[in-house]
Structure 1
Amino acid sequence: MNGEWFLRGRDGRLGVYQLSGDAVLCRAEREPGGPWTTPRKVGGDQELHPVLAVGQGADGYAHLVSWRPTSPGESGLVHSTHFRPHLAALDWNPIGHPRKRGGDRSGTPAVAVDAEGRAHVFVRNDGGGVHMVAQREKGGWEPWVDLRGSKVQDGLAAVTGESGRIELYAAVPDGILHWRQEKAGAEPVRTETLRTPVRPGTLYALATSPDSTTLFYTDTGGDLCAWRPGGKPVTLLPAAGSGPVSAVRCELDGHDCTLLAQRSASGRVAFAAYPSELESAGAWWTESGPRLPVDARVALATDQDDRVVAATLSPSTGALLLTRRKDEPGLALQAWRQV
C-alpha cells in the first residue's frame, strides 16, 4: 500500500484500508472511540491487482487508486471515493493508463488531493519517468500529463501542503526528484534534484508548516534523514528498521511536534518525536507494544479529540492493533489492543 491507509474520516471515525486477494477492504469505528466494524469490500466486485494508494483531502474524503486487469497482459488504473469510513464507497471508476495505447502495470500509484478536493494520481511510467492524471473540478478527468524524469524508482511520495498545493517526491539511483504546483490547479513542475544516497521504498512526505513539506527517507547507510526542498538534508537518527516511517503532526505538551513511527528491527513499534522542522533538537526511538510479523505496517493518525493513535496491520494475518495516547504529559500510550 502507498499513502495514508489509516485515516480519520469527516465524521471523526477512524478507518483502515487493507488489501485482501483481488479486493480492498475497509474497517471503521462504529462511532468515534467505539467498537469497530468487520472488514467489508470497497468499490464493488471489480477484480483488482494487489496494489493500493490512498490519499485524503481537507474535506475528509478518502481517494483510493488501484490497478485492475483489463485483458491478458493489460491493466488500467481505477479510482474510488469514500466519503465516510462506515458507509459504502463509490464503485471503482477507470482512469486509464499513462500510455495511450495501454499496457500492463508500470508502477505503484500515489495520490494526493488538492484544496478543491480534486485527486491527483501519479505513477511511474514504462520509460522510468512519471505521469499524472487529475480530476476536473466539475467531474471527469483531465488528460494524462508527462512530468518526465528518468530512472525513477517505485515508491512515489505525494503530499498536499497546507497551502492546498500538491508536491511529489521520487527516488532515483543517485538522489531524489521533487515536483511542486506553483499555483492551485497548475501542472506540477520539477523544482530541484537532491543528490543523496537513498534506499528505494523509504520515502514519506508530510506537510510541516504553512510553506513547507518535509520528506523523510532512509539513506544507504541506514540513517533516517529529513529534507525540505530549498535546503540541505538533515540526519535525524539511525532508522529503527528497514521499512518506511509514518509521521503525523501533533501537539505534545503545548508544542507543535512531528511524531515518527516505524517497525523496528526487533519487531516492535518504535516512536520518536521532535519539534516540527527543528531537527537540530534531536530525536530518539522508544519501543512499544508486542513483536509484530515481518510484513506489519505502522501508521499514525489523530482522533476526534486530536489524540495520537497508532495502528499496525499485518497483511499475512489481517491483525489490526491500536494504541492511543493517554491523557497525561509526554507520549505515554495505552496498552496495545487487537481490534
Structure 2
Amino acid sequence: MVVIRGRNRGRGADFGAATHQDAATDGLLQVPSGRWLFTGSDGLVTAYASGPEGLIRWTETPSGAFTGPESIEVPRWVGPLTLSRSGEGYVHFAGLRWPVGGGPAHVVVSAQFQSGRGLMDWYDLGVPAAPGVEGEDTVVFGPVVVVNPVTGGVHVLVSLRAGGIVRRVRSGEGRWGRWKSVTTDPYTGEFAAAMPAGGSLEVLAVGRAGVDRWVGASGGRFELRDRFTTPIADGTQTAVETGPKRTTYFWRYPGDDSLVAWRAQSRTSQGGLMALGGAGGGGRPGAARTTIGGYDCTVLAQRGGHGGVEVSAYVTENEGYGAWWASLGETGPGSSAPQVAVDGAGRIVVAVLDKAGDLLVARQDLTQDGLAFGGWTRHGGADAGSVGPWQR
C-alpha cells in the first residue's frame, strides 16, 4: 500500500481572428495547455510558462534550487505554448507567432537539448491548412506537439474550424512533411494527443457525437477506433503512457469535478471509464509514472476542493482498486493546477505556479516510508515582477 504524507509550508482559443491587441496577455503568464514540468537528460527539472513576449523558464541547479523566472523572447509571439519531451530528454516546443508583414498566425517549433541552455532557432511551419479545403481556415485549438519516443520524429497537430485536425511531421532525419489530415471531422474544443512506445499516434477529441479516439493506421491514415458518450470538463484532459502501446487518458467529470480515467480495452489491461475520486477539485491533473516500493505506480496531483494540492498514487492500470487522495498543503489562492515529474534522483516533484507568478515545488522525501513529501519551497527571484502573475 502507498502511504502519502505532506507537510504544509490554458486553453484553446480562436486565433484565426485574433489581433495583436486581443492576443496579448497584458503582462500575465499563461500556463501551457498540457505538460509544463520536465526532467532533462541531466536529471534536472525545468518548469515552463508562456509570457507576453515568449517563454518563461525556471531551471533546477545541481544544488536543488531553481534559477528564474528567465524570459526567452520570441519575436512576434502569440502563444499558446505546448511542450513534449523526447526519450533523450530533449524538450520540444510549439506555438504561434505573427508573420512579418501581417496575416494569420504561423505555427512555429523549437527544441531545447540541455537544461538551462538556449533553444534552437524557431522553425516556421506556416499557416495550417487542411488538404482540399479552400480559403483561410481558423485555428480553434493548438498547436500540440508530440514526440515519437522511438524514432525521435516530431508531430505537430492543430484543430481547424472547417478542416478538422491536421498535422505536420518531422522525420527522425529532420525533414518536415506537408500538412495532412488526421480527421476532417470538426472539433472545436481541446484535444489530447499521445504516442506510446511501439504504438501509433492517437488523438482523443470531444465532438458533437461524443468522445472520439483516432489512431494512426497504415499509409498515414487515421482510423476512428473508439466513440463513447461522456461529459468532459474542457481543459482538463491529459494523457499518460501506461503500458506497451497503451495510453490512459485522464479528465475531470463536470458533474462533481471528480477525476476519471479512460483506456481502450485490451487483452492485457482493463479498459473503459474508471472513477478516481477527487471530487470538488479543479483544473487539469498532473500525472507521471514512477516506481514506489518496487511497484510501477501512476501518481496524480490535483488542485483540491479546499484550494490546496492533493496527491494520489496507485499501481499502474489498476484504477479499479480505487485511488486515495492526501493533501500536500496550501499553495495560496489563485495557484495553478499542479504538475508532476520525476527528478534525476528518482524523487517525485510536484509544482504549481502561484498567483504572483512564482514557482512552488514539493519533493518526495525518500528517507520516509511510503510516499512522503517535504514542504513547499518558493522560487521567484528579482525578475518575478517583470513577468507578472499567471493566467488560466
Question: TM-score surpassing 0.5?
Answer: yes
**Amino acid in structure 2 at the alignment position of 1:5:** W
Q: Deviations over 1:250-282 (max 9, x none)?
A: 112221111111111221111111111111111
Partner of 1:126: 161
| Gaps in structure 1 of 5+ consecutive residues | none
Spell out the pairing of 1:266-305 with structure 2 (5 A cutoff).
266-294=306-334, 296-305=336-345
Partner of 2:4: none
Distance 1:331-1:149 versus aligned 2 partners, 3 A rule: farther
Is 1:200–2:234 an aligned residue pair? yes
Partner of 1:11: 42
- Percentage of matched positions with identical amino acids: 30
**Amino acid in structure 1 at the alignment position of 2:310:** A
How far off is 1:295 after superposition? Answer: 5.1
**Amino acid in structure 2 at the alignment position of 1:34:** G
Distance 1:126-1:39 versus aligned 2 partners, 3 A rule: same
Partner of 1:21: 52
Is 1:216–2:250 an aligned residue pair? yes
The two structures, once aligned, show a CA RMSD in angstroms of 2.2
Spell out the pairing of 1:170-209 with structure 2 (5 A cutoff).
170-182=205-217, 186-209=220-243
Partner of 2:197: 162
Q: Higher mean Cα deviation, 80-89 or 221-230?
A: 221-230
Question: Partners of 2:200 and 2:319 in 1: how far apart?
Answer: 24
Contact 1:268–1:289 (8 Å) recurs in 2: yes
Report SS of the residue matched to 2:240.
Answer: strand
How far off is 1:18 after superposition? Answer: 1.0
Is 1:319–2:354 an aligned residue pair? no
Report SS of the residue matched to 1:162.
Answer: coil
Question: Partners of 2:305 and 2:33 in 1: how far apart?
Answer: 21
| Gaps in structure 2 of 5+ consecutive residues | 1-31, 266-270, 380-392
Question: Partners of 2:193 and 2:233 in 1: how far apart?
Answer: 17
Contact 1:46–1:92 (8 Å) recurs in 2: no
Report SS of the residue matched to 2:320.
Answer: helix
**Amino acid in structure 1 at the alignment position of 2:61:** R
Pick aligned residue for 2:287 from 237, 240, 247: 247
Partner of 1:51: 80
How far off is 1:12 after superposition? Answer: 1.1
Is 1:91–2:121 an aligned residue pair? yes
Contact 1:225–1:234 (8 Å) recurs in 2: yes
Partner of 2:145: 111
Distance 1:112-1:289 versus aligned 2 partners, 3 A rule: same
Larger radius of gyration: 2
Is 1:235–2:275 an aligned residue pair? yes
Question: Partners of 1:187 and 1:336 in 2: how far apart?
Answer: 46
Contact 1:206–1:213 (8 Å) recurs in 2: yes
Matched pairs, number: 335
How far off is 1:188 after superposition? Answer: 4.2
Distance 1:335-1:197 versus aligned 2 partners, 3 A rule: same
Report SS of the residue matched to 1:280.
Answer: helix
Question: Partners of 1:245 and 1:192 in 2: how far apart?
Answer: 23
Question: Partners of 2:105 and 2:86 in 1: how far apart?
Answer: 27
Is 1:30–2:70 an aligned residue pair? no
Contact 2:282–2:337 (8 Å) recurs in 1: no
Contact 2:138–2:160 (8 Å) recurs in 1: no
TM-score by length of 2: 0.80
Is 1:307–2:307 an aligned residue pair? no
Question: Partners of 1:196 and 1:174 in 2: how far apart?
Answer: 10
Q: Deviations over 1:96-138 (max 9, x none)?
A: 2222765554323211100211111111112272111111332
Distance 1:232-1:164 versus aligned 2 partners, 3 A rule: closer
TM-score by length of 1: 0.91
Q: Higher mean Cα deviation, 80-89 or 18-27?
A: 18-27
Q: Higher mean Cα deviation, 169-178 or 251-260?
A: 169-178
Contact 1:75–1:104 (8 Å) recurs in 2: no
Report SS of the residue matched to 1:132.
Answer: strand
Contact 1:174–1:196 (8 Å) recurs in 2: no
Is 1:146–2:191 an aligned residue pair? no
Contact 2:253–2:259 (8 Å) recurs in 1: yes
Distance 1:164-1:148 versus aligned 2 partners, 3 A rule: closer
Q: Higher mean Cα deviation, 256-265 or 104-113?
A: 104-113
